[in-house]
Amino acid sequence: MIEIADLSLVDWSRAQFALTAMYHWIFVPLTLGLSFIIAIMETVYFRTGSEEWKRMTRFWMTLFGINFAIGVATGIILEFEFGTNWSNYSWFVGDIFGAPLAIEGILAFFLESTFVAVMFFGWNKVSKRFHLASTWLVAIGASLSALWILVANAWMQNPVGMTFNPETARNEMTDFLAVLTNPVAIDTFFHTVTSGFLLASVFVMGISAWFLLKGREEWMARKSILIAGIFGLASSLTVALTGDISARTLAHVQPLKFAAFEAHYSGRDNAGLVAAGILKDSGQLIGDRAKKEFVVKVEIPGFLSMMTGGSRNVWVPGIEDLVHGNAEKNIMPVAEKMERGRYAREVLMNYKKAKQANNTEEAEILKGMFSDRDFIDEYFSYFGYAFLDRPEDVIPNVSVAFYTFHLMVMLGFFFILLCALALFFNYRGSLPRQKWFLWIMIISVPLAYIASQSGWVLKEMGRQPWIIQDLMPVGAAVSNINTGSVITTFVLFSILFAVLLIAEVSIMAKQIKTGPKH
C-alpha cells in the first residue's frame, strides 16, 4: 500500500524536481517561439530571394540551436526522475501519464529532431522549398511536444478519462479523447505555447535593440523587431485572453488554487479582483496556519465574480469556505472528504486482505465497488484525502500563489505595451534614436523569463499538496529511497546545471557579439 514518506525525503525530492523543471523551462519557451519566428523569416526569404533575409534567418537559427541542444538534455533528466524519485506516482497513474509522454517521444520529438538536422545543415544540400518545409516542421514539432507534455500535466491537475483497478492499485485510461480534450489541457496548451511565443519575441527584440545601440546591423535589427513585434503583440494579447479563460476553468476544477492566488479567504458575491497588493500574516489562524491580510491593495470591484461566472452576483468561495465547508452553498468540508477518502482506502485494503485470504466472494464484492459510479463519485474521488493529517493541509502557499500570479499578470500587460511601442517607433523610423526604449527592450529579456517561471511556479505550487488533484498528495508519491542519495544528486545537478547555464550564456553572448555571418 502507498504510505506517506519521510518529510525530509519528500522535501528534497520536490526540491530536486523543481530545480530540474525550472532549469529545463529556461530553454523550452525560447525553443517554442524562436522556431516560429525563424520559420516566418525564412518564408520571407523564400518569397523574396533576398540574401539579407537568409543571413538574418541563419543568425537567429544559430541561437535557436544553442538553446535547443541544452533543452533536450535537461528534458531527458526530468523524465528519468519520474522513475527514480517518484515511483509510487508512476505506478499509481498507470498508462495515463505514460501514454502522452510516449506519444511526445515517438511522434512529436521524432518529427522535431529529424528535421532539425535538415534545417541546420541542409541549406546547400536540399531545395529551398524542402528546407523551408523542414523549418516549419521543426516549429510544429516543438509545439506538438509541448502539447503532449501539457496533456499529461493537465491530467494531474484535473484527472479525467480513467478508472481505478483495485487489483493492481493503478489508474487505467478508459477514454483517451477525454484526456486529450481535458479543459485544463486545452487552456494550458494555448496559454503556455503563446507565452513561449511572447518570450521569444521579447528575446529577439532585446538582442536587436543591442545591435541598434551599438550601431551595428541596423537593417537586420529593424526587420527582426518588426517580425518579433507583430508576433509578440499577437502572442501577448492571446496570452491575456487564454490566461483569463484558464482562470475561469481553475475556479471550477481547482477552486483552492484560484482562491489562493487572490488571497481570497471569505466567500462573497460581487467579489473584487486584486490588481496589486502586499500581504502580511494576520492574527487569525486556519488550523495552525496564519491567514494573510493586505497591508495595501488595489482592487477592481466585482471583477473576480465576473471572471468566475460572468456576473457580479456570482458568489466566489474563499479559502475558509473550501476548507471548513459551507452547507448553504453545498461545499463539503475537507474533514468530511478525509473521512470519505479513508473509507475508500479501507475498502481497497480489505479487498487486498480478502484476496490474500482466498476469500473470493468478499473480494469480488469489494472489487465491484470500484466499478460502482456512486462509490467512485462519493468516496474514491476523495481517495487522496486519506493521506492528509489536517484539513488545512489542502491550503497551498498563499503568498507564493498571490505574488507569482500578480507578477505574471503585470508583466503580461507590460509586454503588450512593449510590443506595441516597438512597432510604433519602428514604423516611424525613429527606433534607433530612442535610446531609452532600446534599453527597456534589453532589460525586458530577463523580465520575460521571470514571467515565464512565475507561471509555472503558480501552476505547480498552487495545487499543493496534490501531485494528482484529490487522488494523491505529494507525500504519498515519492520513491522509498535514501534521503542522502537525493541530497547528493540535488547538489550534483545544481553544479551541472550552473555550469551548463554559464556555458550556454557565454556561447550565446559570443555568437551575438560576432553577429550574423556575411
The x, y and z cell numbers of residue 363, run together, are 473480494
Task: Output the pLDDT for position 284.
Answer: 83
Mean pLDDT rounded to a whole number for the chain: 89
pLDDT tens-digit profile of 461-511?
Answer: 989 899 999 999 998 888 888 888 888 988 998 898 888 889 888 998 999
Q: How many CB atoms lie within 10 A of CB 518?
A: 5
Task: Output the pLDDT for position 104.
Answer: 75
In a domain, 280, yes or no: no
Confidence at 5, pLDDT banded by 50, 70, 90: low
- The answer to whether the CB of 87 falls within 8 A of the CB of 479 is yes
In sign, the C-alpha dihedral spanning 260, 264, 266, 267 is negative
Tracing cell 461545499 back to the chain, one arrives at 331
Q: Is pLDDT above 80 for 392? A: yes
| Residue among 267, 246, 224 nearest 56 (CA) | 224
The x, y and z cell numbers of residue 308, run together, are 468566475
In a domain, 463, yes or no: yes
In a domain, 91, yes or no: yes
C-alpha angle 160-164-166 in degrees, rounded to nearest 5:
170
Residue 36, Cβ density class (10 Å: 0-12 exposed, 13-18 middle, ≥19 buried): buried
Question: pTM value?
Answer: 0.90
In a domain, 232, yes or no: yes
Q: Radius of gyration over alpha carbons of the chain, in Å?
A: 25
In a domain, 458, yes or no: yes
Task: Output the pLDDT for position 518.
Answer: 66
Tracing cell 484529490 back to the chain, one arrives at 470
Confidence at 32, pLDDT banded by 50, 70, 90: very high
- The answer to whether the CB of 220 falls within 8 A of the CB of 211 is yes
Residue 275 DSSP class: E
Q: Mean pLDDT over residues 65-70, rounded? A: 83
In a domain, 133, yes or no: yes
Task: Output the pLDDT for position 471.
Answer: 93
Q: Is pLDDT above 80 for 4? A: no
Partners of 326 in beta bridges: 331
Collect all residues with Cβ–Cβ distance below 8 Å to 294 and sequence separation of at least 6. 263, 274, 277, 278, 279, 280
In a domain, 226, yes or no: yes
Task: Output the pLDDT for position 219.
Answer: 92
pLDDT tens-digit profile of 306-333?
Answer: 888 778 888 989 999 999 998 888 999 9
Task: Output the pLDDT for position 6.
Answer: 60
Distance CA 59, CA 223 (A): 13
Confidence at 254, pLDDT banded by 50, 70, 90: very high
Residue 469 DSSP class: T
C-alpha angle 342-344-348 in degrees, rounded to nearest 5:
110
Stated as kind and residue range, the H or E segment containing 403 is helix 398-428
| Structural domain total, the chain | 1
In a domain, 121, yes or no: yes
Task: Output the pLDDT for position 306.
Answer: 84
- What range defines the domain where residue 248 resides? 28-257+394-480
